[in-house]
């Protein structure tokens, strides 16, 4: 069982809290309210009805000095191969797992709260516009992130009940080869779920990540939207500044009046405005009723109707704001985690006793990396990977079960459980 892998009885979370953190929190909230966000205060309205919880603002100070390791020296013999099967040292990881990374995509869940509200008011167009903005917002946290999340062990889980965001979430690794992760989230008037397999190829100077899977969003009134993620490519593996780009076509399919197509433009060498996203909303007859434009690492805007000019020349002052990325936290580390991501691996007081032993927060190698104990983290990572190879594929799913109404490798059905949610 996965729980037998996590042998350490107590995992120490070295986060520091106190009055100073509270003061910084108040100051940070005031600074984030720039002029644009004051004009679009729906985000604050969505969150104001939820209980506010104080969470940590930074990662622990590292215990050890970081060691420099060449990524090229580790992967040069794997050109053309699937890197999900290549074991890399812990120095290339960030201190969160892929299960937690799934939850990070819901950082801007207030957009779904807003979409639910618009739908109740009969404004179906504003609903799909906010759904489209949400689909783009999940990519914002990848800007400047050069480390990979931990690959979960088979049967590893992650669950979070964030009353300050009005959401509760759980995810589970349901297959090792191929790697399959299933997730489920519940919010105010909506449910979001999906399962995904990430196919990875190394081409020498770049790494290509092709997501395989469908994401589903269902509102309480029965309206459903489905889409798949676009391709991600990491460039300059050997020389130059490492960076990632997202590109391809995202088709958001609705079961009622509207659907949306978004094009993530691939960045070129001479491109002065990278990370562009353009698209449109169409009704059942194929007529364009709204045009979207923006950048996946910054903001998204919309213009009513079919915009006839070049979208890259569109002046934001003539468009309406849908979403704007939150400001990054001060004192960024090499991981460049967002303020939300910093909280994902936190063990708040009393939480450890409530979590199942398979939860990612209790994984010792990941915790050691967060604490800056690099040698211990690497040793634990190697031990866990050896143990997983010994155990093989014999395990019992904790949360999900195969959905017989879809393909055999989909795990979108949640098991009935009497276990209570735990507040993260």
Q: How far apart are CA 63 and CA 373, in angstroms?
A: 6
Give the CA distances from residue 256 to residues 69, 98, 184, 291, in Å, rounded to whole numbers and listed in that order: 52, 33, 23, 19
Per-residue three-class SS string for the chain: CHHHHCCCCCCCCCCCCCHHHHHHHHHHHHHHCCHHHHHCCHHHHHHHCCCCCCCCCCCCCCCCCCCCCCHHHHHHHHCCCCHHHCCCCHHHEEEEEHHHHHHHCCCCCHHHHHHHHHHHCCCHHHHHHHHHHHHHHCCHHHCCCCCEEECCCCCCEEEEEECCCCEEEEEEEEECCCCEEEEEEECCCEEEEEEEEEEEEECCCEEEEEEEEEEEEEECCCCEEEECCCEEEEECCCCCCCEEEEEEEEEEEECCCCEEEEEECCCCCCCCCCCEEEEEEECCCCCEEEEEEEECCCEEEEEECCCCCCHHHCCHHHCEEEEECCCCCCCCCCCCCCHHHHHHCCCCCCCCCCCCCCEHHHCHHHHHHHCCCHHHHHHHHHHHHHHHHHHCCCCCCCCEECCCCCCCCCCCEECCCCCCCCEC
**169 near 103, Cβ under 8 Å?**
yes
The pLDDT score that the predictor gives to residue 29 is: 43
**pLDDT tens digits along 256-298:** 999 999 999 998 877 788 999 999 999 999 999 999 999 999 9
Across residues 131-153, what is the average pLDDT? Answer: 95
**pLDDT tens digits along 333-365:** 889 999 999 999 999 888 999 999 999 999 999
The answer to whether residue 405 scores a pLDDT higher than 80 is no
Q: What is the pTM of this model?
A: 0.85
**pLDDT tens digits along 56-83:** 999 999 998 877 666 666 666 666 656 6
How large is the angle between the packed helices 110-120 and 124-137, nearest 10 degrees?
170
Domain borders along the chain are 2-245+327-414
**302 near 292, Cβ under 8 Å?**
yes
The pLDDT score that the predictor gives to residue 33 is: 43
Residue bearing tokens 């698209």:
279
**pLDDT tens digits along 223-267:** 999 999 999 999 988 778 889 999 999 999 999 999 999 999 998
Give the CA distances from residue 63 to residues 347, 372, 373, in Å, rounded to whole numbers and listed in that order: 18, 5, 6
Any idea which of 95-109, 175-189, 370-384, 409-423 has the lowest mean pLDDT?
409-423
């Amino acid at each position: 069982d996965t729980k037998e892998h996590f042998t350490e009885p107590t995992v120490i979370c070295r986060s520091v809290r106190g009055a100073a953190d509270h003061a910084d929190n108040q100051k940070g909230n005031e600074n984030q309210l720039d002029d644009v966000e004051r004009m679009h205060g729906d985000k604050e309205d969505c969150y104001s009805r939820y209980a506010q919880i104080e969470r940590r603002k930074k990662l622990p100070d590292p215990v050890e000095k970081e060691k420099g390791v060449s990524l090229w020296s580790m992967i040069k013999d794997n050109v053309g191969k699937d890197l999900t099967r290549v074991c890399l040292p812990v120095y290339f990881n960030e201190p969160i797992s892929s299960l937690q990374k799934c939850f990070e995509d819901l950082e801007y869940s207030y957009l779904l709260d807003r979409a639910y509200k618009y739908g109740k008011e009969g404004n179906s167009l504003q609903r799909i516009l906010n759904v489209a903005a949400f689909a783009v917002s999940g990519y914002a946290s990848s800007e400047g992130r050069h480390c990979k999340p931990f690959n979960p062990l088979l049967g590893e889980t992650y669950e979070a009940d964030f009353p300050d965001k009005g959401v509760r979430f759980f995810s589970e690794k349901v297959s090792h080869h191929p790697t399959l992760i299933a997730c489920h989230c519940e919010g105010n008037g909506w449910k979001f779920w999906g399962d995904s397999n990430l196919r990875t190829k190394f081409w020498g100077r770049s790494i290509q990540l092709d997501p395989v899977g469908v994401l589903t969003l269902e509102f309480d009134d029965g309206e459903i939207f489905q889409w798949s993620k676009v391709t991600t490519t990491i460039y300059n593996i050997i020389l130059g500044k490492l960076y990632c780009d997202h590109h391809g076509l995202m088709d958001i399919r609705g079961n009622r009046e509207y659907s949306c197509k978004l094009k993530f433009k691939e960045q070129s060498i001479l491109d002065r405005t990278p990370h562009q996203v353009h698209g449109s909303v169409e009704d059942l007859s194929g007529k364009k009723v709204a045009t979207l434009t923006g950048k996946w690492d910054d903001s998204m805007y919309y213009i009513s109707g079919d915009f006839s000019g070049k979208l890259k020349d569109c002046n934001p002052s003539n468009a309406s704001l849908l979403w704007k990325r939150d400001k990054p936290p001060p004192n960024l580390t090499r991981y460049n985690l967002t303020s939300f991501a910093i909280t994902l691996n936190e063990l708040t007081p009393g939480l450890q006793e409530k979590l199942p032993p398979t939860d990612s927060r209790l994984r010792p190698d990941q915790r050691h990396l967060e604490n800056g104990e690099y040698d211990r983290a690497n040793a634990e990572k190697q031990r866990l990977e050896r143990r997983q190879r010994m155990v093989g594929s014999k395990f019992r799913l904790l949360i999900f079960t195969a959905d017989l109404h879809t393909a055999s490798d989909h795990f979108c059905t949640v098991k009935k459980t009497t276990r209570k949610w735990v507040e993260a």
